[in-house]
């Protein structure tokens, strides 16, 4: 079967890692796979290296910055062009299945519908606001998807008010855990971290809802009480949102945390980053659908403390592999984290997390369900 995958970005963060895993799986099943991305980026060479053809073509990706009148007309024009080009591509390449990875990709749904090709939507998002946008995307999911894959029960539940529940299949993401199981590398020497210091980290794309600013607020309060702690931030911002990264640097300076917070930017060596920290904090300000970074942390035998909504609730076993904090109360968050600042408890929780991720969110389980859904 010849399969076309469309994706909303060319980075190597969570949804892109799942796209890469999907491509590898389809190639293993002897399918012919083409991928269309809107822009150049590190994902392009990674995909090409696994043996798939990558086409760069504007897709009219839907982002929040276009949620206004001028943005609407901008997307409408770009989408119209994208649909025509995709139709031509699909006819030329005899595409039999289209997979749109994330709800930000709309063009594939329209093009597949016009040609009569089966279209699967892989949904990684929870959209609560604005309500009108959720209703529009819900309509498109109903109308233009042969099937919908939701990455968590939280994602399915969030869309059931506007999408027929029987169209949605929940498939928890699984990844190749071997780099995290086998890694012994660490950045402690590179960062000149004290050998006995507990390191609290946050890893993820810098965005206003991901919670990096909240993380720093929590770090500031923890530092006053536990000056021996060290903190690590890894991840960069979307193109056009670089100012968010700069605001974090300003906040670090304002809180006088320059000596204890390491802002690393984008890193490809995430297994080494995971081996550097003792505890991962994921303080998302909105429900995070199914954070890949939690899978990576659990495989690395690191406990995770996250805000108590979204897919994290399905991933973390409270009190055993990690814990939960509120999204808007730094004092309460510190009270929860304080109870985890014991190396023996952290190690026990990390070991339990590794067992849980390999049993409940295994790559083989994800592959089996994906093959069944896509065939």
Q: What is the pTM of this model?
A: 0.90
For residue 130, say if its preceding peptide bond is cis, omega within 30 degrees of 0.
yes
- pLDDT band (50, 70, 90) for residue 70: low
In sequence order, which residues have a C-beta less than 8 Å from that of residue 374 and are 6 or more positions away?
A: 3, 26, 97, 99, 120
Q: State mean pLDDT over 288-316.
A: 97
pLDDT bin (cut points 50, 70, 90) of residue 224 is very high
Between residues 13 and 300, which one has the greater pLDDT?
Answer: 300
Angle among Cα 219, 224, 225 to the nearest 5 degrees reads: 100
CA 297 to chain centre: 13
Whether residue 35 has pLDDT greater than 90: yes
* pLDDT > 60? residue 73: no
Domains of the chain with CATH codes: 2-170 (3.40.50.2000), 178-360 (3.40.50.2000)
Tell me the average pLDDT across 89-94.
Answer: 96
Contact assessment for residue 238 and residue 315, using Cβ atoms and an 8 Å cutoff: no
pLDDT at 66 over 60: no
Cα–Cα distance for residue pair 345/352, rounded to 1 Å: 11
Tell whether the model's pLDDT for residue 349 goes beyond 70.
yes
In the prediction, which pLDDT does 46 show?
A: 95
């Amino acid at each position: 079967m010849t399969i076309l995958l469309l994706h909303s970005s060319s980075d190597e963060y969570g949804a892109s890692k799942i796209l890469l895993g999907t491509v590898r799986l389809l190639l293993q099943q002897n399918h012919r796979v083409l991928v269309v991305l809107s822009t150049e980026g590190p994902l392009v060479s990674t995909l090409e290296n696994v043996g798939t053809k990558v086409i760069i073509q504007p897709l009219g990706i839907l982002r929040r910055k276009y949620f206004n009148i001028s943005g609407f007309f901008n997307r409408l024009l770009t989408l119209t062009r994208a649909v025509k080009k995709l139709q031509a591509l699909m006819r030329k390449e005899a595409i039999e299945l289209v997979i749109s990875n994330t709800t930000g990709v709309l063009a594939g749904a329209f093009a597949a519908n016009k040609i009569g090709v089966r279209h699967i939507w892989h949904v990684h998002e929870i959209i609560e606001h604005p309500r009108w946008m959720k209703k529009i995307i819900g309509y498109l999911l109903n109308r233009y998807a042969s099937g919908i894959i939701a990455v968590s029960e939280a994602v399915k539940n969030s869309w059931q008010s506007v999408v027929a529940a029987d169209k949605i299949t929940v498939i928890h993401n699984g990844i190749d855990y071997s780099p995290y199981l086998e890694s012994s590398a660490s950045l402690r020497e590179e960062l000149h971290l004290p050998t006995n210091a507990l390191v609290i980290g946050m890893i993820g794309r810098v965005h206003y809802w991901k919670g990096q600013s909240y993380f720093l607020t929590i770090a500031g309060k923890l530092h006053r009480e536990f000056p021996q702690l060290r903190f690590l931030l890894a991840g960069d911002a979307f193109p056009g949102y670089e100012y968010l990264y700069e605001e974090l640097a300003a906040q670090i300076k304002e809180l006088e945390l320059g000596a204890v917070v390491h802002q690393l930017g984008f890193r490809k060596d995430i297994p080494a980053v995971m081996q550097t920290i003792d505890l991962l904090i994921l303080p998302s300000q909105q429900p995070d659908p199914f954070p890949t970074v939690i899978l990576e942390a659990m495989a690395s035998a690191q406990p995770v403390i996250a805000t108590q909504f979204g897919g994290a609730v399905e991933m973390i076993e409270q009190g055993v592999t990690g814990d939960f904090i509120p999204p808007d109360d730094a004092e309460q968050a510190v009270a929860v984290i304080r109870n985890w600042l014991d190396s023996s408890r952290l190690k026990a929780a990390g070991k339990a997390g590794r067992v849980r991720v390999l049993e409940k969110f295994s790559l083989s389980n994800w592959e089996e369900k994906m093959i069944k859904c896509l065939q």
